[in-house]
Structure 1
Amino acid sequence: MHEYVLQTNQLSKKFKSHTALNKVSLSIRKGSIYGFIGQNGAGKSTLIRIVTGLAYPTEGTIELFGASEEKELIQARKRIGSIIESPALFPHMTASENLEANRLLRGIPGKNCIPRMLEQVGLKEVGKKKAKNFSLGMKQRLGLAIALLGNPEFLILDEPTNGLDPIGVIEMRELLKRLNRELGITILISSHILSELHLMATHYGIIHHGQLLEQLTAKEMNEKCQQYVFIKVDNPDKATAIIQNELGTSDFEVMQDGAIKLYSHIEQPSKVSSALFSAGLAVEKFMPMGEDLESYFTKRIGGNSYV
C-alpha cells in the first residue's frame, strides 16, 4: 500500500498577475492528521480545491493514493471526503434526508450507511428536526457526516471549527481524533485555531504567500516550541546545584528574577519536584510551559498576527 495519500510536486497556481501557489511540494502520510497552517490568502484553500478537483494547477503535479494520471485521479478522488468552507445543506430537510439526497447524488449504494453516519457524528437523536433549525455545531456535524458517506480514506476539512463555541470546538476535535484513531482515516485540516491543531495534529505544513515554508512532525514542532519546566524556589543557587548534581543536566536557564527554565526532564516533572522537595527547598511555582504553535507560526512567517 502506498505510504502517502497525497503528494504534490512543484504545484503552482496563477491568477493573472497573482501567484496563489508557488512550487509547493507537500507530502501527507497515510494515517496522519495534517495541520495546514497559513494566513488568509496564503494558498491553503487553493491547494485544497486543486486536490479535490475544483480547480486545476498552472504547473506541477499531484499524486493521490499513488495515482497521478487524470483518469486515475478522478477515481482516486472518490476515496476523499471533504468540507470546503461551510457545508452545503438542504435547509428544509432533516439530517437523514440530507444524507439520502447526497447519497443519491453521488451514486453510493444502500441506505444502511445513513443511520451509521448519524451515529458516528453524534446526530442519531435529531429525528425530524429540519437542518435550518440546527445549531452551527450540528450543521458542522451533518456536513462531516455527508463528507463521510462512502467511507472515505482521506478527509479534507477547510476550517471545520469556524463559528463553533468552545464546547463545539472540543467536540469536533475529539470526533476527528476518534475517526483517525478508530477508522484509520487520514485527515488534512486547514484551521485558524492553532491551539486546537496543536492538540490533534501529528504533522504540520506551514504555507505563506503561496510557498510551503516547512513541513514537520508533532515531535519536531514540540522541540522547536521549546517546552520547559518553569521553577520558582526560595534558593535558586541551591536549586541549580540540585538540578546539575542529582538530575545530571545543565540544560536550564536562570532568569534575572531567579526563576529557572528547565529544558530537560519535560516528561519527568515528578522526578524534578521530588529532588527539590527532598533538598528542603520551598517551591513557589512549578509548571510545564513553552512557546505555543501560534507563537512559533508567527515567528516563522516574520509577522505579528496569523489572521
Structure 2
Amino acid sequence: MEEYVLQTRQLTKQYPKHTALAQVDLSIRKGSIYGFIGQNGAGKSTLMRIISGLAFPSFGSFELFGQSSASGIVQARKRMGVTIESPALLSHLTARGNMEVRRLQKGISDRASLDKLLNIVGLDHTGSKPVKEFSLGMKQRLGLAIALLGDPEFLILDEPTNGLDPVGVMELRQLLTKLNRDTGLTILISSHILSELHLLATHYGIIHQGKLLEQLTAGELNEKCRQYLHIKVDDSDRAVEILMDQAPAKINRMPDGSIRLYESTERPGAISSLLAASGLEIEQFMPVSEELERYFIQKIGGNSHD
C-alpha cells in the first residue's frame, strides 16, 4: 500500500471574479519530488498556501500525513518546511540572525544546526552583512535554509530558483536531490524552468487555470518527452569521436558546431568530466527539454505566456 504525504479532494478556491483552484485531486507519494508545472496564475501558489495554512479553501478537503481534521492538520504542519513566493525575512538582521529568530519561533533547541544549514545553502560566509544587502538569489537560499529548520519531512518550495544564476540553480538541484536521496525528504516544488524540473522531479502535476490536467511519473513523462545534452566545445570533431567511443549514444551535429547527445542525459556529470579529461574546452553544456515544453504547451492547449 502506497503512503501519501499529501492528498487533496476536490480542493477549490474561489474569489469574487475568478476561480483560483477548481476541484483539484492531487496526490504526493512519500519520498517523491513532485514537480508542479503551470503558468503564472495557474493556481500553484494558491494550493501551496492552502496546504501551508496561509489561505483557506472555499470547499474541498485535504489530508496531510494522513490527517484531515483541523487539529490533526495543525500538528502535521509541524513536520513541514515551507518557502512560498518571496521569503519573509527581517532585513536589518544577518542571515544567522534570521535563522535564530525562526529557531526560537519553532521551539528548536539545536542552535548548532543554524551554522550547518547556512553552510549547506552557501551563506556561511556572510557574517555581519544584513539581509537588506543580500541579492535576490541570496535571499532565496536563506529562505531555503529557514524552511529546512527542524529537519522537516515534507518541503514545499514555490519558485525557489528565482534570482539564482545557472550555477546556483545547479547547486540547488544537487542539494534537493541529495536531501531526497539521503533522508527521504518529500518535496513539492514549482518552477518555470521546465528543463530543471525534468532533471529533478520523480513525479509531475500539470495545472492550468486552476484545473489539474494530469499527474504522471518521470518515467511516463520521459516516454512522451525526449531530452538531450547540448554541448559546445573547441573541437567538435574530437568530441564526437570521444563520445562515440566512450559513451555510445545517438549524436546529432548541428550547423552551429554544437552537439546534441541523446540517451545519456541521466549522467551529465560523467559526460562533462569525460570531455574535460580529454583536454577539450567546454564552452556550453546544458540539458535541454524542448519536448517537455512542447508537451506542456500542447497540454494546456495553446501558446505559453507568463
Which TM-score bucket, shorter chain as reference?
Answer: 0.7 to 0.9
Work out the CA distance in 2 between the residues paired with 1:226 and 1:272: 12
* Counterpart residue identity of residue 198, structure 1: H
Indicate yes or no: 2:298 matched with 1:299.
Answer: yes
Q: What is the aligned length?
A: 258
Indicate yes or no: 2:89 matched with 1:89.
Answer: yes
Local SS of the residue matching 2:111: coil
**Cα deviation, residue 79, structure 1:** 0.7
Counterpart for residue 149 of structure 1:
149
Work out the CA distance in 2 between the residues paired with 1:211 and 1:129: 43
Deviations 1:134-171 (A, max 9, x none): 23222211111111111111110111011222222222
CA separation of 1:143 and 1:10: change in aligned 2, threshold 3 A: same
Work out the CA distance in 1 between the residues paired with 2:53 and 2:86: 18
Work out the CA distance in 2 between the residues paired with 1:53 and 1:89: 19
**Cα deviation, residue 215, structure 1:** 0.2
**Cα deviation, residue 120, structure 1:** 2.2
Structure 1, 194-203 or 132-141: larger mean CA deviation: 132-141
**Equivalent runs, 1:69-148 vs 2, <5 Å:** 69-148=69-148
Indicate yes or no: 2:266 matched with 1:288.
Answer: no
Work out the CA distance in 2 between the residues paired with 1:17 and 1:271: 52
Contact 1:83 1:158 in 2 (8 A): yes
Local SS of the residue matching 2:304: coil
CA separation of 1:79 and 1:127: change in aligned 2, threshold 3 A: same
* Counterpart residue identity of residue 110, structure 2: G
Counterpart for residue 208 of structure 2:
208
Local SS of the residue matching 1:57: coil
Q: TM-score, normalised by structure 1?
A: 0.78
CA separation of 1:112 and 1:291: change in aligned 2, threshold 3 A: closer
CA separation of 1:198 and 1:271: change in aligned 2, threshold 3 A: closer
Contact 1:2 1:66 in 2 (8 A): no
Counterpart for residue 21 of structure 1:
21
Point out where structure 1 has 5 or more consecutive residues left out of the alignment.
230-267, 274-284
**Equivalent runs, 1:1-307 vs 2, <5 Å:** 3-226=3-226, 270=248, 287-288=261-262, 291-307=290-306
**Cα deviation, residue 9, structure 1:** 0.7
CA separation of 1:107 and 1:22: change in aligned 2, threshold 3 A: same
Work out the CA distance in 2 between the residues paired with 1:8 and 1:53: 14
* Counterpart residue identity of residue 116, structure 1: K
* Counterpart residue identity of residue 118, structure 2: L
Work out the CA distance in 1 between the residues paired with 2:174 and 2:46: 27
Counterpart for residue 256 of structure 1:
none
Counterpart for residue 263 of structure 1:
none
Local SS of the residue matching 1:81: strand
Deviations 1:235-292 (A, max 9, x none): xxxxxxxxxxxxxxxxxxxxxxxxxxxxxxxxx973779xxxxxxxxxxx88428753
* Counterpart residue identity of residue 207, structure 1: I
Local SS of the residue matching 1:67: coil
**Cα deviation, residue 128, structure 1:** 2.0
Work out the CA distance in 2 between the residues paired with 1:228 and 1:122: 30
**Cα deviation, residue 186, structure 1:** 0.7
* Counterpart residue identity of residue 209, structure 1: Q
Work out the CA distance in 1 between the residues paired with 2:181 and 2:149: 18
Task: Provide the aligned C-alpha RMSD in A.
Answer: 2.4
Larger radius of gyration: 1
Runs (4+) of structure 1 exceeding 4 A deviation are 226-229
Q: TM-score, normalised by structure 2?
A: 0.78
Contact 2:6 2:64 in 1 (8 A): yes
Contact 1:2 1:65 in 2 (8 A): no
Work out the CA distance in 1 between the residues paired with 2:51 and 2:165: 29
Work out the CA distance in 2 between the residues paired with 1:200 and 1:306: 23
* Percent of aligned pairs with the same amino acid: 65
Point out where structure 2 has 5 or more consecutive residues left out of the alignment.
230-245, 252-258, 264-288
**Cα deviation, residue 92, structure 1:** 1.8
